[in-house]
């Protein structure tokens, strides 16, 4: 299962990339609006730091402008994936970008029907927003289950990128269902890493080792 980081924070990206646990990045206009600095500098910097796919979102809403913006974003680096919203103009842009050999990620997906259409249009990734579905009183993970099953039944090559993840249990559920990727805000990746028994266990090992050192006048 691949783990992407859902952030435009250079500091967070560097921190987790150094651990070797980040396969790619997703950004969106909201995430970029939270950072200081010029948006284009931020995007270029992320593309430089990360070896894997970096998803940069278009803000145009008409097909031709989306394609133009996508072609411009792609110039930031080979690893750029153009994120396009799930609209009829967006699907047409996906088709055109695909013809230009540019990979796309269709975002703002809230149903398995939308995911199916995005896959048919040629999206490399589809991004269902499960947390926002949960917030609206609809089981987000059911949509993941349906999409994974439909893509499997018909051999669609689009990868299911689980977005709007709210807690570590979402990650386990997505993994059990066979979703290809989860994209996580940095705090959730941090929560996945920590366990109080790990901290307690390490503290005990270290204090026991202090006793060994004292008893044997051992310095290591």
Site for ligand G3P, residues 12 to 71, rule: CB under 6 A: 26, 28
Question: Is residue 128 within 8 Å of residue 96, measured between CB atoms?
Answer: no
163 forms part of the interface with ligand G3P (CB under 6 A): yes
Q: How far is the CB of 181 from ligand G3P (least distance, A)?
A: 11
d(Cα 33, Cα 212) in Å, to the nearest integer?
53
What character string, x for contact with ligand G3P (CB under 6 A) and - otherwise, covers 174-213? Answer: ---------x------------------------------
Site for ligand G3P, residues 100 to 139, rule: CB under 6 A: 129, 131-132
Q: Could you tell me the CA-to-CA distances from 90 to 65, 83, 129, 214 in Å, in that order?
A: 10, 9, 17, 68
Is the Cα dihedral 30, 35, 37, 39 positive or negative?
Answer: negative
Q: How far is the CB of 185 from ligand G3P (least distance, A)?
A: 7
What tokens does 110 get? 């809230």
The Cβ-side half-sphere exposure at 207, using a 13 Å CA radius, reads 6
Among 105, 114, 124, 164, binds ligand G3P (CB under 6 A): 164
* 3-state SS assignment for residue 56: strand
Question: Is residue 200 within 8 Å of residue 179, measured between CB atoms?
Answer: no
159 forms part of the interface with ligand G3P (CB under 6 A): no
Rounded (5°) CA angle 118-122-123? 60
- Is 83 labeled as catalytic in the residue annotation? yes
Catalytic residue among 15, 48, 62, 83: 83
6 forms part of the interface with ligand G3P (CB under 6 A): yes
Q: How far is the CB of 219 from ligand G3P (least distance, A)?
A: 49
Which residues would be at the binding site for ligand G3P (CB under 6 A)? 6, 26, 28, 129, 131-132, 163-164, 183
Residues involved in catalysis: 83
């Amino acid at each position: 299962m691949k783990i992407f980081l859902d952030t435009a924070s250079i500091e967070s990206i560097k921190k987790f990339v150094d651990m070797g646990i980040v396969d790619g990045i997703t950004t969106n206009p909201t995430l970029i609006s939270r950072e200081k600095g010029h948006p284009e500098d931020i995007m270029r910097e992320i593309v430089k730091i990360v070896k894997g796919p970096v998803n940069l979102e278009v803000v145009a809403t008409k097909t031709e402008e989306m394609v133009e913006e996508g072609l411009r974003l792609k110039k930031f680096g080979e690893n750029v994936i153009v994120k396009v919203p799930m609209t009829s103009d967006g699907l047409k842009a996906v088709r055109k970008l695909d013809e230009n050999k540019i990979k796309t990620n269709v975002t703002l997906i809230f149903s398995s029907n939308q995911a199916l259409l995005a896959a048919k249009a040629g999206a490399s990734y589809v991004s269902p927003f499960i947390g926002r579905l949960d917030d609206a009183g609809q089981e987000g993970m059911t949509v993941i289950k349906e999409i994974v099953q439909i893509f499997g039944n018909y051999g669609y090559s689009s990868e299911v990128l689980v977005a709007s993840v709210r807690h570590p249990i979402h990650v386990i559920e997505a993994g059990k269902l066979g979703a290809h990727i989860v994209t996580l805000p940095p705090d959730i990746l941090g929560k996945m890493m920590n366990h109080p028994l790990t901290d307690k266990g390490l503290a005990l090992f270290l204090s026991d080792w202090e006793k060994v050192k004292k008893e044997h006048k051992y310095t290591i």
